[in-house]
Amino acid sequence: MVAGNNRPEVIDPSGVRKLLHLLDALRDSPAGSIIYRQVEAMLDDIATRHLKAEMIYAGFIGTLLEAFAANLVPGSPRFVR
């Protein structure tokens, strides 16, 4: 799946869906279904927070690289396009 910068919840970075697939058998009983839904909610929350943090770091790195590139002098050894 492809996600926009403001939709981190549609990405499955840590294999959340694969893990939930392993727990699918829990859904066959009422008690197991409750446990499955709780685990699913917890994993989705963890994955969403992780992705948001990654996006913040990526934005920060992008800003740093832009600032660095803005201070390069064309023709200098560090200047690359």
**Amino acid in position 27:** R
- pLDDT digit string, tens, across residues 23-80: 999 999 999 999 999 999 999 898 889 889 999 999 999 999 999 888 888 888 877 7
For CA atoms 35, 36, 42, 45, the dihedral sign is negative
pLDDT bracket for residue 3 (50, 70, 90): very low
- For residue 23, give the 3-state DSSP assignment: coil
Looking at residue 81, what DSSP letter applies? -
Tokens (6 digits) for 4: 């926009």
Residue 64 contacts residue 57 (beta carbons within 8 Å): no
Residue 27 contacts residue 36 (beta carbons within 8 Å): yes
Domain ranges of the chain: 14-70
Q: Is the pTM of this model over 0.85?
A: no
Q: Which strand (E) or helix (H) includes residue 21?
A: helix 16-22
